[in-house]
Amino acid sequence: MSAPVRIERDGEVAVVTVDNPPVNALSHAVRAALLAAIEELDADAAVRAIVLIGAGRNFIAGADVREFDAPPREPMLPGVLARLEACGKPVVAALAGPTLGGGAEAALACHFRCAAADLQLGFPEVNLGLLPGAGGTVRLPRLAGWQPALEMMTSGKPVGRDAAIGHGIVDRPADGELRATAVEWARDLASRGVAPRRVRELPLPPSRPALFEEFLLSLPEAARRLPAPPRIVEALAAAAMLPFDAAQARARTLFFECLNSQESRALRHLFFAERGAQPDRALARPVAQAGVLGSGTMGAGIAIALATGGIGVTLVDAKAEALAAGLGRVHSAIEGAARKGRISAQAASAARERVQGAAALEAVAACDLVIEAVYENMAVKQEVFAKLGALCRPDSVLATNTSTLDVDAIAAASGRAADVVGMHFFSPANVMRLVEIVRGRESSRPALATAHAVARRIGKVAVTVGNCFGFVGNRMLYAYGREKEFMLLEGATPERIDRALVEFGMAMGPNAVGDLAGLDVGWQVRREWAGKPDDPRFYRISDRLAELGRYGQKTGRGFYRYGAPGGQREPDPEVEMLIRDEAARLGVAQREIGDEEIVGRCIFALVNEGAAILEEGIAASPADIDVIWCNGYGFPRHRGGPMFHADAVGLPKVLAAIRRFAADHGERWWTPAALLVTLAERESGFGAWQAARAEAAGRAT
């Protein structure tokens, strides 16, 4: 293995390169080697200036998150950066690409900073429930001021080179070759005898005592309830009031408070879960051109995601008017992304040019990947795949975007089931990060690897799941929604249910989500569902509203009423009357239902269904379920996903609650999954179960 830090001399300038693939994370080995390099060069009389640079495409992308759950090992990053800053010779940081977290703090500890055009500098620690604990909170405001420091650290969003220069973080651009520019600058600094400019010695900008409290109150209430954002503000306030070393010590204390919080553990769990095992990339087939069948909301969204991800798209719709509307949605969304600065004007132009429309299915014959996004009807999809099987190249991958239908039945119609997978995008497909890659009974490894590779290329989180009704996400959604529908009949109002679950942390309540997605969508699925439960209460209120043409926001009325389609929602007395009438017709007695019961029944229904899915092998791991629910269904990330949350609550408590619900509401819907019972009786958890399985698999290998 190569050294994680190497030294090269270019005359009187020493170049220190951090080389720890893939992103130059500040692992223990890197910290130790960097400290040794600085001490060696500071003592070398032949060296008059130093350049710190990262190997590959970026400077340093942050700390090694894998070490956060291990005992601390010296040298710790704050000490390494303090020694770097104390160096008696000018140190120039040559910044490029992702320069994040501990990497950004390392840049601030250098004396001067130049940057390539692709710099993305930021402090994303808040996304792991943490704060910058290696000097960022005391150094950044001395360069950028209080407001940029507060905003960058509480949002976690990086800034580009121009913004970093504007904030005073970066001193100059490097428009030529980065290393050569940095070395030339360092040599000039040495020749002119320029002393190190230590950020810790710079004056603090003026501040008001109320500034920090006002900023904290401006944050969303949900953010204020989490450990990290208030502590970030507190650390910056300490930087304003205390000497440098005392303020940094306070920030370090706050960092460890965050590190030990349940919320940070949950966020770190998701960090690793989202980067879990992937299919062998070597098996993936190259995809330069994709076909998308259906130009409605979903098809257009998939086309946008593919085109902005660098893949050519043929968007097919037999109806000329629908195709024109779909292409219009594609172009509008791409232009909107450019206006908002999410992509450059050049990238937007290239993305638009990648999308072509076609009326005939034959237009996708030469495509490497074809994604079907037509009407959610088995007969329609089978007809489409029968044609695709004969029409498309033998090495092309055929994917269905079905959200609930049997992928094996669709694949069989193609006559080439090995080439067929599910690619279940979530709406809007150009925004939502999740794609469930559905493994059919005969789906080949290359087909699955290709679907995964495409999803990752276009910036999605891809999770492989098995084939059953609803796969993982929607199957669990029906358990969650089942309980909220039953509680509507039992007396909880739509707004009471939504408020309780939003307070728990869900991005939206289930009734508001139904109105947003369109109640007609689920209604159509349930009409197609051959195995739909025969309980007359099952989704009765949602179905009744859809029967009345109350589809939600798009019609101005659903569970709520809206001043205009898509406008502000408000409770609707007509819905409350409809619910009372349906409850009376079905013989359901109404009562007061508290928030604790609402949350318990909905969330533990998710957990129980998730345990059954694990038993059946539909999901490979509890972590996969957590990724699906946090990225596709708005489950609160700070709770880590339903299965991680269940472990945090304790499976014995979860099982006791489920048995209580079974006694109160019937065993048909509340029979505990066998895996949940086994783990609860062992006083174990889903995480420990998965770790044991992984260890056993490793021994077998």
The CA-CA-CA angle for residues 347, 351, 357, to 5°, reads: 165
Q: Which residues are catalytic?
A: 105, 125
Q: What is the DSSP letter of 438?
A: E
- DSSP per position, 324-361: HHHHHHHHHHHHHHHHTTSS-HHHHHHHHHHEEEESSG
Tokens 């619900």 identify what position?
Answer: 661
Tokens of 694: 């992984």
Q: Is the peptide bond before 75 cis (omega within 30 degrees of 0)?
A: yes
- Please name the residue ranges forming H helices in 117-227: 136-144, 146-155, 161-166, 178-191, 209-218, 221-224
Using DSSP's 3-state secondary structure scheme, residue 260 falls into: coil
Beta strand ranges found along 172-321 (DSSP E): 172-173, 289-293, 312-316
Beta carbons within 8 Å of 352's beta carbon, 6+ residues apart = 307, 330, 331, 334, 335
Q: For 149, phi and psi rounded to 5 degrees?
A: -65, -45
Torsion of CA 558, 562, 568, 574, to 10 degrees: -70
Phi, psi dihedral angles at 396 (to 5 degrees)? -80, 150
- Within 13 Å, how many C-alpha atoms sit on residue 581's CB side? 9
Cα 492 to Cα 182, 223, 388, 485, distances in angstroms = 65, 28, 48, 9
